[in-house]
Structures are given as C-alpha cells and as structure tokens.
Amino acid sequence: MSASAFNKVRTRIAPSPTGFLHLGTARTALYSWAFARHHGGEFVLRIEDTDVARSSQDSVDQILAAMHWLGLDYDEGPIYQLQRLDRYREVVDRMLAEGTAYRCYTTPDELNAMKAAQEARGEKRRYDGTWRPEPGKVLPPVPAGVTPVIRFKNPLDGDVQWDDLVKGSISIANREIDDLIIVRADGIPTYNFAVVVDDWDMRISHVFRGDEHVNNTPWQINIFRALGAPLPQFGHLPIILGDDGLKLSKRRGAVSVTAYADNGYLPEAMLNYLSRLGWSHGDDELFTAEQMVAWFDGSHLSKSPAQWDPAKLDWVNAHYIKQADDSRLASWLVERLGQEGLNVSTERLAPMVRLYKDRCATQLQLAEWVRLHFVRPEISDADRAQHLTDAVRPAVQALAQRLDGLQAWDATSISAAFKACLAEFGLKMPQLAIPVRVLACGRSQTPSVDAVLALFDKKVLVERLQAY
C-alpha cells in the first residue's frame, strides 16, 4: 500500500471534544497509529472543536489522557480547528473567486419549507439550487438582513468513485449529492469542509474512520478535486456492536476508554482486544503492540460489524495481568486503595499481588482480594450457616491461640499450626480451613490457606478468628 501522491504515509485521528474518547474512536486511532508506524510514517492528533456549543476543555483533557493511557503517541498535535479559522477563510475566499463555492441567502425556514414541499411531492429532500450560479441564470435579489451561508458548488454530472481500503470500490453519482454548506452563517466552517482543508494542509495520505462517514466522502473528494489537492486513501471501518447486538453507544454501558482504565483494565490488553475488532492476523489472539505494528499493513480489515464481547475482553485482560510486573499492579492498587482511605505501601501489596493475580480478570478484582487483608469482610448468612458451626468452634479457637504464639510468621509456620490442630481435634483440612477462610476473608475459596494467612497482620488475623 503506497502513499501514492504523498512522499510519506501520514495518518490522523480527529475526535470532537464533545465527550470522552469512545471505544470506536479509540479503535480507529489504533489502526491509524499502527498503519503509520508500520510504514515508517507519521500519526497526527487533531481536535475538531468547531462545534463550539458542545466542545469543552474537559473533553479535550479526557481525550489526551486516554491517548496517553493507550500509548498511542502522536508525531504532531494536538492541532485545534478553532485555531485555523483564518486558513479556512482563506480557502473559502479562493473558492468563491474561482466559482467552486457560492453565497446562499436561503433562510433556515425557507429551506425547511422547500424540503417539506419536496417530500410532499415524493421527491428527495435537498437544496434546490436557488442561489447556485450558472451561465445565463439570473439570481434573485439579495435579501436585506440575511447573512448568507457558503455552499460548495458540487458537480452535476459524472460519478464520485474511490477504492476503499475496507469496503472496496464505491461509486456515487454526483446528481445524488447536494450542494453542501461549507461555512455557516456565523462564519464557522462545517465538518466536511474543514476536514478537507485540514487533511490537505497536514498532508494526510490515509484516512481510517467509521463507516458512518461513507456518505460524507463524495463531498470531501469533490472538494479535494476543486482545490486541486491530492486525494488521501479512505478506509471506512464497520461499526462495533454491543453485547446486546445494537450499536455500541454512550446510552448503553461503559464505552469510554477512561472508564475501562478506571475499572482496572490494562492498556496493553485494551489495545490487543480493540485491534481484533475488525482486523486479524491469522489465528493470533494475543500479541503486543509491537507485533501489531509489524503486521498491520492495512490488509485483513473486516467488512462486517465487530461484536463487543466483555467476557473476551476479560480473558485478554486476565492474560496481561498474569504477565504484569507485581510492583506495577501494586502501584495501581496503592492509588486505588488510597482513594478509600487505606494507606498501604507497594512493598506490602506486592506479595499479595503475586498470590492473587492469577485469579483476576481485572485490577478491580485484584483490589477486592487485597482489600480483605485490611477491611473486615462481610460474611454471608449462607456461609455462616454452612461453615461456622458450633462443632468447629473449639478447633478455630485453638488455632487462633497457636497462631498468636508463633514466633515466625510465614506460611511454613502457619501450616504447622494447622496440622497440630487437625491432629488435636481429629479433623481433615477442609473442615478447619474453610471456616478459617470465611472468618478471615469472607469467602470459602481462596489460594492455599497458609499462604493467604501469612499475608495478614498477625494481630488482625487472630482477632478475626477469636471473634468467632
């Protein structure tokens, strides 16, 4: 895949700061980043903030934080569209002078009435070209007090055709395309115009984006051609479906990158999982970002919608948690537990991480395991009735006494105390270990009980057992 008219592969991601970084946008960013890195090119971050009413600095901050968390480093940016208004005006003035754009004085009310009448006649709703200049055409008198919009003079004949990197060949007749508003009455450029000027100026060679933009592409291609600008190659990615089979949206579930970061997912796991939502490399399921860069040449992109699968994400994340450095996970837990008022050191948590991480799909689950060492657990009525019987109480009390008297506090010494109590009371290990697990941890199943107990403060553990 070549850069065609460009001397270097350059891709971009251009989110609107009207909310958090959506998972779909994150996938697009990942593909754009990996493609650029694969080809030794450059990746640009652009903030499309011309929707002044809905854009916010908080959203910008969240987008930047999400990009940083994912490790999607960019070579240029962030570039803000609102800082480029002079450039857009310059291009518009040129287009007006060259006759590829024109001023339109049709008011919003007139436009609505026009389209309503078209609909009543069974016609396609569109601007009727009242103010479109044509040879020999006499335009209406300019109405007083009306600030015009600027429309692009779209070609009337021929087709717009491009070879989509995902969907293959696409062709749309120009007669089906309206004369697009490129500058609003307030002077702010519209998306389809600004994005063309931006991609032109920034020498963007390849554009990956969601397939909701397929219908925008003919307009943009025609504007590129009107400006004499080189055309990037376009690749339109299918949507991501939620686990309910509907389009992944903000209205249903957590779809922001930062939400998954807060919920204890690792960035390398999220990148790995996102990459497989519309792209594949043979049967490989687990791979690093470096491997993806080596493989991602723009081929093997799926034309079909991807299915978001929370269980699959948990499986991928569990893999990376198992591989993660204990101190790294412990550092995350220090901050998380600190938010709950629990001040615990990384050194204290690292051995707990080592013991529990193989049982966890997320760092939040890991936090649940670790927390039980510092906060007295709630014991369910079912566990209390089944495991904390009067029959085992004497053995538990005896074990508490033996543990309290231990000089060495380690798994070996704790195991020896268990064995002594089992012999004394004629019990098998589960008969004593399970009640102890419930009292100490609030759950009947844990890793090896002596290893778990060794991570407790001895005084805290003995008190929990004696409270039985």
- Cβ–Cβ < 8 Å for 310, 252: no
DSSP letters, 76-90, are EEEEEGGGGHHHHHH
Q: What is the dihedral of CA 286, 290, 291, 294, to 10 degrees?
A: 150
Q: Can you give the C-alpha Rg of the chain in angstroms?
A: 31
Burial of 53 (0-12, 13-18, 19+ CB in 10 A): exposed
Structure tokens at 426: 């004629």
Q: Is 178 left (phi over 0), alpha (psi -120 to 50) or beta?
A: beta
In whole angstroms, give the CA distance from residue 28 to residue 12. 9
Evaluate the omega torsion of the peptide bond into residue 78 and state whether it is cis, within 30 degrees of 0: yes
Tell me the C-alpha distance between 406 and 415, whole Å.
Answer: 11
CA atoms lying within 13 Å on the CB side of residue 142:
9
Instruction: Report the distance separating Cα 342 and Cα 329, nearest Å.
Output: 16
Q: Which of 8, 250, 303, 322 is catalytic?
A: 250
Q: Provide the CA 387 distance to its chain's centre, in angstroms.
A: 44
81 within 8 A of 38, measured Cβ to Cβ = no
CA–CA distance, 28 with 427 (Å, rounded to integer): 60
The answer to whether the CB of 271 falls within 8 A of the CB of 30 is yes
Residues 6 or more apart whose CB falls under 8 angstroms from that of 369 comprise: 352, 356, 359, 360
428 catalytic per annotation: no
Q: 369 phi and psi, to 5 degrees?
A: -65, -45
- Let me know: does 291 contact 104? Beta carbons within 8 Å: no
In angstroms, the first-to-last Cα distance of the chain is 70
Q: What is the token pair recorded at 226? A: 């009107």
Q: What are phi and psi of 334, to 5 degrees?
A: -55, -45
Q: What is the DSSP letter of 81?
A: G
Distance, in Å, from the CA atom of 107 to the CA atom of 72, rounded to the nearest integer, reads: 44
Nearest to 296 by CA among 13, 27, 75, 74: 27
- String of b and e for 368-381 (b: at least 16 CB within 10 Å)? ebbbbbeeebebee
Active site residues: 250
